[in-house]
Amino acid sequence: MIPSPVYLDAATAAPLHPVARQALLAALDDGWADPARLYWAARRARQLLDAAREATAETLGVRPDELSFTPSGTSAAHTAVLGGLLGRRRTGGALVHSTIEHSAVLHAAEHHVARGGTAVEVPVDRLGRLDLTAWSTAVAGPGVALAALIAASHEVGTVQPVEAAATACADAGVPLYVDAAQVVGRVPVPAGWSVLTASARKWGGPPGVGLLVVRKGTRWESPWPADERESGRTPGTLNLPAVVAAAASLRAAAADAAAQAARLSPLVDRIRTRVAAEVPDVEVVGDPERRLPHLVTFSCLYVDGEALLHALDRRGFAVSSGSSCTSSTLRPSHVLEAMGVLSHGNVRVSLHSGSTEADVDRFLAELPQIVADLRAQAGVVGL
């Protein structure tokens, strides 16, 4: 019997929200023209874009002119970091960031360093929580142009003390950039930031839409060649139908977010408890309390992460992993590394509005045997 598919990788991409699908189809008909032109089809597209921007800004609690749509969460993160550094280059060339930022932020940091800038990494503890003392010292250091902090870890779910970190930044006069990809549309966005980014595919919008918010008064300059679209912050023609779908689904996801969090968080607790109790030699990682409602990560001792993903896939379960064998670079996840937790045999489960209690229970029922079989095959039972 072919097992029914259970998709548990919402932190990479949530299944398309029905509202997104509807909006996308409608906008394919009405939103194909260039919103900057001066004829009827363009005006229709312009109305769609303006409405999408207003709705999204309202959900985020920002002004529409502070918000730009980008081609992805990754490009939004690159633009946020490089633009924040460029805008304050006269203050200095240092970027402060946590060790658990998304690779998009880390790659922007590397790009900055390769061009003569500096980067200061701030560590986290074993649960993946920012070291606030080290953060406060780092942002008060000389020549800090920008500080970057992920709102909540995409790999282990630990929610970061963004507001305390923002206070330290404000005291030092340093703008804070927050990568909010895993919180927008799911939990309230913390306050205190100057620049914020998100990604539509994380909340059930289509892939290929990011958000970039630059608060009024922030010293920020586009790092890209000039382009007048999106307030000059991010170049290129927008995929307007996708933007419209992203905006519609964000509104729907945000309206339902508290109910979904209340439903999914106990399921995550159930996974945390039962995996720890029923799978021998497993390390459930991340903060058990200050965490995202929909995401949990664990590592199984002596198990090959890639083999585990394949075995789960054969049973219909789609999950992701931070183990080195599953990455193209063959390096373990820098997040697990920064936390000092086991990196092999790693599984990240992330739930979405379509995830049911029955899905989670079937996963929990099958996982112990799948892990036991892999350990038996590898001859590591009893080690």
**Which residues 364-383 are close enough to bind another protein by CB under 8 A?**
378, 380, 383
User: Residue 31: is it exposed, middle or buried by C-beta count within 10 angstroms (0-12/13-18/19+)?
Assistant: buried
Span near another protein by CB under 8 A; candidates 2-10, 145-153, 205-213, 295-303: 295-303
3-state helix, strand, coil in the chain (%, to 5): 45, 15, 40
Which two structure tokens, joined as six digits, stand for 245?
A: 């779908």
Residue 121 interacts with another protein (CB under 8 A): yes or no: no
Report the residue number, 242 or 342, with the smaller CB distance to ligand PLP.
Answer: 242
Angstrom distance (rounded) from CA 316 to CA 303? 19
Of the CA atoms within 13 Å of residue 304, those in its CB half-sphere come to 13
- Phi-psi domain of 246 (left: phi exceeds 0; alpha: psi -120 through 50; beta: other): alpha
Report the residue number, 30 or 281, with the smaller CB distance to another protein.
Answer: 281
> How do 176-179 and 144-150 pair as beta strands?
parallel
Which two structure tokens, joined as six digits, stand for 78?
A: 């690159």
Identify the three-state secondary structure at position 290: coil
Which residues are CB-contacts of 87 (< 8 A; sequence separation ≥ 6)?
A: 145, 218, 219, 220, 221
Which amino acid type is present at position 361? D
Residue 330's binding partner out of ligand PLP, another protein, none, with CB under 5 to 8 Å set by partner kind = another protein
CA separation (Å) from 18 to 24, 253, 335? 10, 11, 33
Residue 342's binding partner out of another protein, ligand PLP, none, with CB under 5 to 8 Å set by partner kind = another protein
Site string for ligand PLP, 188-207 (x = CB under 6 A): -----------x-x------
Residue 302's binding partner out of another protein, ligand PLP, none, with CB under 5 to 8 Å set by partner kind = another protein
Instruction: Single out the catalytic residue among 120, 325, 366, 372.
Output: 325
Let me know if 169 is a catalytic residue. no
Residue 301 interacts with another protein (CB under 8 A): yes or no: yes
- Smallest distance from the beta carbon of 69 to ligand PLP, in angstroms? 12
Beta bridge partners of 210: 70, 199
The vertex-212 CA angle with 194 and 286, nearest 5°, equals 75
Cβ–Cβ contacts within 10 Å for residue 112, how many?
Answer: 22
Nearest Cα neighbor of 258 from 293, 214, 206, 297 is: 293
Nearest Cα neighbor of 135 from 86, 184, 180, 192 is: 192
**Which residues 21-80 are close enough to bind ligand PLP by CB under 6 A?**
72-74, 77
Residue 154's binding partner out of another protein, ligand PLP, none, with CB under 5 to 8 Å set by partner kind = ligand PLP
Span near another protein by CB under 8 A; candidates 45-53, 222-230, 258-266, 326-334: 326-334
Site string for ligand PLP, 94-133 (x = CB under 6 A): --------x-x-----------------------------
Residue 310 interacts with another protein (CB under 8 A): yes or no: no
Residue 104's binding partner out of another protein, ligand PLP, none, with CB under 5 to 8 Å set by partner kind = ligand PLP
* Site of interaction with another protein (CB under 8 A): 281, 283, 299, 301-304, 323-325, 330-332, 336-337, 340-345, 378, 380, 383
* Site of interaction with ligand PLP (CB under 6 A): 72-74, 77, 102, 104, 150, 154, 179, 181-182, 199, 201, 210
Residues serving a catalytic function are: 325
